[in-house]
Structures are given as C-alpha cells and as structure tokens.
C-alpha cells in the first residue's frame, strides 16, 4: 500500500520553485534533484532550482558558462529532454513560444562523466513527428544516428523513453494526425539493434501523453498524463492514476493507493528518492500547478500524517472514504458528548452499530456509468479505464449545466451518490479517523445536508434545487477550456 501526502512546510527550507509544467527534474547522484525550465502563464522559464535531499533544502545555484543566445545557460524552454549522468545534467531541444529548439547544453555540477551514452528517440521538429533514433557519446559529445532494422514505432512526441539496463522502453505519446497512443516498445542495443512491440498482460495504461515513467527497483511507475475524449474531441481527459510495469512478472499492475491522489495532470515531474517519489508541478488543461507531493509506502514516517494506524486488508483506494468515516464513528463511541452534539446539529440519528453510508467508486456505480453511457452513445466495459473517465467527465458536465427542472427523476439516484462521493473524497477522506475533525467540520454547516441520505427516496421535490446547487459547488473544475500547454 502506498499513500499520497502533500508536502508540508516542515519538509523543506529555502525557496520552492514557482509553478510550472513541461519542465525536467533529474537526480544528480543520490543527494540532489535539479529542476530546469518549464512554462507558466505563457512564459517560458530557464531557471534552475536544486533540492538538496540530505539537508531538505531548496536553493538556486549561481552558474557560469557559455549557453545559447549569449546566456550563461540554456535559453528559456519547456518540453525539452533532461538526462542525468553521474554529476552532469544534459538538456536538449524543447519549445520556446512557436520556436522548436535543437541546441544542446551540459550542466557540470562536479566530477568527470563516465563512459556512458544517451539514447534519444522521436519528437516534433515543428513540422513533422519524428521516429529517428540518436545516441550521444558523453565522452566525445558527438551525436550518431542509429540505424534500426525491422518494424519501427510510429512517429510521436510527448512519449516517455526510459532506459532499463540496456533496453530503451518507449510508451505512449501523440503521433502524426493527433492520435494518442498506448503502445509499448523495447529497443535492445546490440550489433543489430531492433525494436520489439511488447503486449503485456494486466491492467495496461490508457492512451496518453505528457505522463511520467520513473524507475523504482524492479518496476517502473507510470503516473498521470492526458488523452483525448474520443469522439468528443473537445474533451481532454487528464489522469492521476499510478500504474506499475513489473519487470519480474512482465505485466502491468495498478499500484494500491490508500487515499486520494493529487489532482490529475500532465507535463509534471516525478522523481525517485529511495523508496519515495517526489511529484512537482504539471498542467491540467486550465491550471499550472506548483504543489509538491510525496508518494510513500505504508511504513514511511510521512505516511503517518495521513493515517494514525495503518489500514488492514485494504486492496486499493476504492471505498477508502467510507472506511475512514466508519473508523471515525467507531472511535466516537467513547465520546458520547461529541456524538450527541453531532446528531443534534445534523438533525439525524447516527447508529454506531448499524451500517455506515457506503461510498461507491464511480467505476462500481453501474447506474451512474450506464447513465453516462447513454449520453455518450457508447457502451463502457470495466476494463476501458480511459472511456470510463471520459464518461464520468461528460456526465458531470451534463449536470454542471443542468437546471432543477431539466433533471429527470431517473437521474436523481446517480446524482445523489456522486454528490456524496465527491464530499467524502475531497473533504471527509482527509480527516482520517479524527472524530473531532469530522464533528467540527460538519457542525453548524447548512451545506452538505444531503450527505447522510441512504437513498434517493428520502429526497423531497423541493430538495432538488438545493442538491443541484451544492453539487455544482463541489464539482471539480472542468478541464475543457482555457489555454493549453502541450506538445503539438
């Protein structure tokens, strides 16, 4: 089990980098992470921020040298390539405004470079998608185009290319004409290098670009990215799922997460620090993020901020909110005064020995998914996560613009459950098992009055306008408008 925990002020000192997307973050040795460039509010950046892991310190180093355009370092850019070898960070290409860049810079942080190579595949040169393959010798600093036999991956950009021992693994990306892909290719560098398309069992990621793939022990961790909304091309679906490629069993797996993940995003960075992962920045179609999150295993001290005691026998994140609430009310048996006050304030009868309100995940709410399917005109199966996410977005957008008189009675059940789901996910789930937090949060609130309804039959006709108004307030912002920072 892993947990997402938002970084607190005690985690760092120094100046945290400003929000951005399309940046790179690379580990230098085992002591530092270097963040370079990116895009924020249509401004391309070329600043360098360093996180000192041992001292938990963010700082901006003073650099010297001869970079591009007469500057000390690389010119402002985003969506570039950043690679670390020993104590050096290599920066290549990227985009600055409408210009595509092809320059190459090296940041020397200390000692000499080992005899290693950098492999670069694909991209977008401003006119066409590429599928060429180049190798940089880090001793001579010379590029060599590699001739490959056999089948080739289709041209693309926005993909990930990850070196695993002597194999290059390429996943996803956007190709010519705009389709977003979910294919996985492996290149083994030998006397006659060749590509092999891998079709692995398990819960494979949906088509996406702008995601990250980070190496951690015997597995690769894929997080985030975005895809298109199928036949409704105006929709972009942004993801915040964690999917593992297990190198030992050669299959895709969902990483069990014990709580709510950060907001969905693409063009972020995710860096491995021992058993932890550090997430920074990204873009969701409308907002550029500057938040920092830890992804940590259950036994990590950081995880204790979210859970006072580790949950037992929890297969994944589904139903987690309901279990947190149930745990809270069980603890509250010893606090009769607090429970009595909670009952009085809400005007309800809370039976601690009875069943707690069950919060279903969207994918398990069959009536909810079927209603969304009727709006999209497509049937959705349980293994089509991308289509499920699209259906959820379209249904919520339908309710976002609805009026009370336009909602048929058959939609009230799914609407009520989604209302309860969003409250438990974005408010009560963060309370863990702290009964005093739940009590103080709900106490005196006029809003969220429909949270404890067991079913739609408890709604009155004159409750519908109030329910819909509350639902719209807690509904996540739609990612279908505003400026878009992406590779094109």
Tens digit of each residue's pLDDT (9 = 90 or more) over 258-314? 888 999 999 999 999 989 999 999 999 889 999 999 999 988 888 888 764 444 443
* Distance between CA atoms of residues 365 and 370, nearest Å: 9
Report the pLDDT value the prediction gives residue 440, as an integer from 0 to 100. Answer: 46
Question: 421 by DSSP, 3-state: which?
Answer: helix
Tokens 């949060």 belong to 441
Tokens 């497509």 belong to 378
Angle among Cα 418, 298, 211 to the nearest 5 degrees reads 60
Q: CB count, 10 Å around CB of 275?
A: 13
Q: What is the pLDDT of residues 431-462, one digit of tens each?
A: 443 434 444 444 445 567 788 888 888 888 88
Nearest to 24 by CA among 99, 80, 87, 102: 80
Question: Are 280 and 35 a contacting pair, CB within 8 Å?
Answer: yes
Q: Which residues contact 83 (CB under 8 A, 6 or more apart)?
A: 26, 89, 90, 92, 118
Structure tokens at 446: 């006029």
Report the pLDDT value the prediction gives residue 68, as an integer from 0 to 100. Answer: 64
Tokens 């702008």 belong to 210
Structure tokens at 181: 């892909």
Domain boundary assignment for the chain: 17-110, 320-474
Q: Is 158 left (phi over 0), alpha (psi -120 to 50) or beta?
A: left
Structure tokens at 247: 């190198």
Structure tokens at 46: 């070329």
Q: Residue 148: phi, psi to the nearest 5?
A: -120, 140
Report the pLDDT value the prediction gives residue 48, as an integer from 0 to 100. Answer: 92
Structure tokens at 440: 């103080």
Burial class (CB in 10 A: 0-12, 13-18, 19+), 296: buried
Question: Are 24 and 280 a contacting pair, CB within 8 Å?
Answer: no
Report the pLDDT value the prediction gives residue 422, as an integer from 0 to 100. Answer: 87
Nearest to 392 by CA among 232, 192, 269, 187: 232
pLDDT tens series, the chain, 488 aa: 899 999 988 888 998 999 999 999 999 877 899 999 999 999 999 999 999 998 999 999 888 877 666 677 889 999 999 988 878 888 888 999 889 988 888 887 785 455 578 888 888 887 888 888 888 887 787 888 888 877 888 899 999 998 887 788 999 998 876 678 999 999 886 667 788 899 999 889 999 999 999 988 788 999 999 988 654 445 688 999 999 999 888 899 999 998 889 999 999 999 999 899 999 999 998 899 999 999 999 888 888 887 644 444 434 333 433 343 334 333 433 434 444 444 444 444 433 333 446 778 888 888 998 888 887 777 776 667 777 888 888 899 889 888 888 888 889 999 999 998 888 776 554 444 343 444 444 444 556 778 888 888 888 888 899 999 999 988 875 443 333 333 33
């Amino acid at each position: 089990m892993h947990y997402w925990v938002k970084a607190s002020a005690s985690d760092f000192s120094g100046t945290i980098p400003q929000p951005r997307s399309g940046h790179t973050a690379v580990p230098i040795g085992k002591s530092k992470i270097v963040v370079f460039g990116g895009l924020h509010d249509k401004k391309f950046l070329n600043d360098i921020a360093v996180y000192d892991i041992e001292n938990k310190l963010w700082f901006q180093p003073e650099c010297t040298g001869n970079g591009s355009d007469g500057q000390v370092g690389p010119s402002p850019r985003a969506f570039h390539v950043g690679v670390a070898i020993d104590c050096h960070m290599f920066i290549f290409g990227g985009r600055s405004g409408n210009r595509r860049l092809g320059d190459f810079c090296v940041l020397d942080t200390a000692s000499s470079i080992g005899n290693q190579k950098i492999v670069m595949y694909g991209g977008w040169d401003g006119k066409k998608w590429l599928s060429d393959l180049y190798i940089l010798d880090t001793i001579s600093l010379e590029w060599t185009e590699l001739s490959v036999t056999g089948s080739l991956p289709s041209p693309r950009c926005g993909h990930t290319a990850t070196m695993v021992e002597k194999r290059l693994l390429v996943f996803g990306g956007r190709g010519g004409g705009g389709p977003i892909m979910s294919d996985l290719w492996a290149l083994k560098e030998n006397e006659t290098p060749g590509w092999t398309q891998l079709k692995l069992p398990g819960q494979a990621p949906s088509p996406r670009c702008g995601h990250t793939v980070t190496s951690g022990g015997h597995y690769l961790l894929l997080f985030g990215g975005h895809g298109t909304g199928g036949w409704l091309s105006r929709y972009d679906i942004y993801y915040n799922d964690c999917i593992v490629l297990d190198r030992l069993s050669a299959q895709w797996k969902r990483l069990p997460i014990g709580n709510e993940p950060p907001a969905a995003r693409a063009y972020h960075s995710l860096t491995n620090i021992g058993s932890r992962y550090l997430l920074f920045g990204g873009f969701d179609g409308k907002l550029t993020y500057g938040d920092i999150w830890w992804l940590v295993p259950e036994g990590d001290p950081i995880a204790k901020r979210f859970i006072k005691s580790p949950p037992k026998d929890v297969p994944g994140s589904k139903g987690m909110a309901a279990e947190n609430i149930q745990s809270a009310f069980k603890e509250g048996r010893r606090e009769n005064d607090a429970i009595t006050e909670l009952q009085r304030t809400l005007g309800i009868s809370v039976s601690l020995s009875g069943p707690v309100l069950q919060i279903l995940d969207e994918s398990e709410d069959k009536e909810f998914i079927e209603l969304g399917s009727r709006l999209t005109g497509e049937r959705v199966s349980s293994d089509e996560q991308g289509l499920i996410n699209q259906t959820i977005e379209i249904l919520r957008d339908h309710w976002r613009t609805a009026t009370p008189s336009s909602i048929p009675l058959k939609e009230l059940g799914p609407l009520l459950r989604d209302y309860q789901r969003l409250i438990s996910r974005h408010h009560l789930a963060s309370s863990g098992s702290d009964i005093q937090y739940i009590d103080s949060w709900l106490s005196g609130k006029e809003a969220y009055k429909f949270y404890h309804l067991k079913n739609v039959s408890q709604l009155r006709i004159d409750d519908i306008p109030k329910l819909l108004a509350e639902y719209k307030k807690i509904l996540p912002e739609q990612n279908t408008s505003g400026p878009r920072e992406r590779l094109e």
